[in-house]
Structure formats: C-alpha cells, structure tokens
C-alpha cells in the first residue's frame, strides 16, 4: 500500500467511551473508521476508571450541570484510550467525531462517529482533546509512561514515512 506523503505528525488523545467500548461490532466499526481516516495508532489500552479518576480527568467541567452524569457514565464501564497521530490530528479527530450534542449531530453531521453511534448528549461515543496543551495533559493522564519527547525523537519520522504496520490483535501501529 502506498502511503500519502505526510507533514510532521501531531498527537491527540482519543477515548472510546463505555457506550461503544462494550459493543463489539460498533467498536470494530470505529476502529475501521480510525484506519480509514488515515490515523496512526501510537498507543492503545483498555481501562476502567474509578469515579475519582474520572472526576480528575473531567475537572474542567466540575461546575457544569452535566458533570455528575458525565462522571457516572464514564466510570460505568471500560473505555479505550488511544494516542492517535496525523497531521493536525487534534482537529481532524474532533471533526471525525462530530459535534458534542448527539441529537443535533444526528441531523447535522450524520456520518460522523457521534452522528452514527451516539446515544445521548452524554453517551456520545468518543472523546478528543481540544488543543495541544489538553492533548499533552490527557496523554500523560492515560499513558504516564509515554514520553512525547522520546517518541518525536525516535519514532515520529518512521511513522510519518509509513515504516509501520498495524498489529490487528492489539490495534496499534508498530515499527517495521
Ligand atoms: O467532548 P466534547 O469536547 O465535545 O464536549 P465538552 O463540552 O468538553 O463536554 C465533555 C463531555 O460532557 C461531552 O463529550 C459529553 O459526554 C458530556 N456533556 C453532557 O453530558 N451534556 C452536555 N450538555 C454537554 C456535554
Ligand atoms: Mg471537551
């Protein structure tokens, strides 16, 4: 397969929330979409957060009316955490996810992930970092052992040049 020529890769954190991570055919469809949209999967793990950890992750929203239901939902089952790479990965992943509010998104952006699989404004399938700083913080929240600095030094160029292959069993791209 020929790979498109890429510019410098950006990293973002994606979550597949409990509403989708427990439905195997939906999870598979989202994995397929991630590949189809040309994202490279740098890290991937399944994790079940406690309510405390979830509160910490969503601390920025603690004054919002939806905070409690968000925390309860996100701690209700396992989620998948992924570090995705692409040029402009942060904005690209957010546009593949679609807008936050599912009822509206189903009409206005039906072929986004939230448009296709979202259930409610809370159970909206996926999360994506909203900026560089957030992405850095969120990646280290889920992958404290991951060093971005080292990844850029050692692996970014190889990923960019396509010297990788998808390990289907773990759904991670590995260096050739
Ligand atoms: O996830 P995104 O960045 O698109 O939206 P957010 O405004 O940062 O909100 C974080 C999460 O809170 C959303 O993804 C929803 O799961 C939840 N939420 C909600 O339950 N009700 C709302 N009215 C808005 C957000
Ligand atoms: Mg957000």
User: pLDDT tens for residues 55-73?
Assistant: 999 999 999 999 999 999 9
pTM exceeding the 0.95 threshold for the entire prediction: yes
Residue 70 within a domain: yes
Residue 5 within a domain: no
Taking alpha carbons only, the member of 23, 20, 24, 80 closest to residue 49 is 80
Q: Is 127 a catalytic residue?
A: yes
Q: Please give the distance, rounded to the nearest whole angstrom, from the Cα atom of residue 1 to the centre of ligand 2.
A: 35
Of the listed ligands, the closest to the CA of 125 is: 1
Residue 105 within a domain: yes
- pLDDT (0 to 100) of residue 5: 67
Which residue segment(s) compose the domain that 152 sits in? 10-175
Based on the structure, what is the number of domains in the chain?
Answer: 1
Residue 158 within a domain: yes
Q: Please, which pLDDT band fits residue 133 given cuts at 50, 70 and 90?
A: very high
- pLDDT (0 to 100) of residue 34: 98
DSSP state of 122: S
CATH number at residue 120: 3.30.70.141
What dihedral angle (degrees, nearest 10) is formed by the CA atoms of 104, 108, 114, 120?
A: 10
| Structure-token pair, residue 161 | 């040049």
Question: Which of 12, 17, 70 gets mutated to test ligand 1 (max ligand atoms within 8 A of its CB)?
Answer: 70
Residue 3 within a domain: no
Residue 2 within a domain: no
- Mean confidence (pLDDT) of the chain: 96
Of the listed ligands, the closest to the CA of 15 is: 1
Q: Please give the distance, rounded to the nearest whole angstrom, from the Cα atom of residue 147 to the centre of ligand 1.
A: 28
- pLDDT (0 to 100) of residue 14: 99
Around ligand 1, the residues with Cβ closer than 6 Å are 61, 66, 69-70, 100, 121-122, 124, 127, 130
Q: Please give the distance, rounded to the nearest whole angstrom, from the Cα atom of residue 47 to the centre of ligand 2.
A: 19
Residue 165 within a domain: yes
Pairing of strands 10-16, 40-47: unpaired
Residue 124 within a domain: yes
């Amino acid at each position: 397969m020929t790979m498109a020529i890429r510019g410098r890769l950006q990293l973002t954190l994606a979550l597949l929330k409990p509403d989708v991570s427990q439905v195997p055919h939906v999870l598979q469809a989202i994995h397929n979409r991630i590949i189809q949209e040309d994202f490279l999967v740098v890290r991937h793990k399944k994790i079940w957060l406690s309510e405390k950890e979830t509160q910490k992750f969503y601390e920025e929203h603690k004054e919002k009316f939806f905070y409690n239901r968000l925390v309860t939902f996100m701690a209700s089952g396992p989620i998948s955490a992924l570090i995705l790479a692409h040029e402009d990965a942060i904005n690209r992943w957010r546009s593949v996810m679609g807008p936050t509010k599912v009822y509206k998104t189903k009409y206005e952006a039906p072929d986004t992930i939230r448009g296709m699989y979202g259930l409610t404004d809370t159970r909206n399938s996926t999360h994506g970092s909203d900026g560089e700083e957030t992405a850095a913080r969120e990646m280290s929240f889920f992958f404290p052992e991951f060093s971005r600095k080292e990844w850029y030094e050692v692996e970014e160029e190889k990923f960019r040049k396509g010297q990788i292959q998808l390990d289907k069993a773990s759904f991670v791209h590995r260096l050739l």
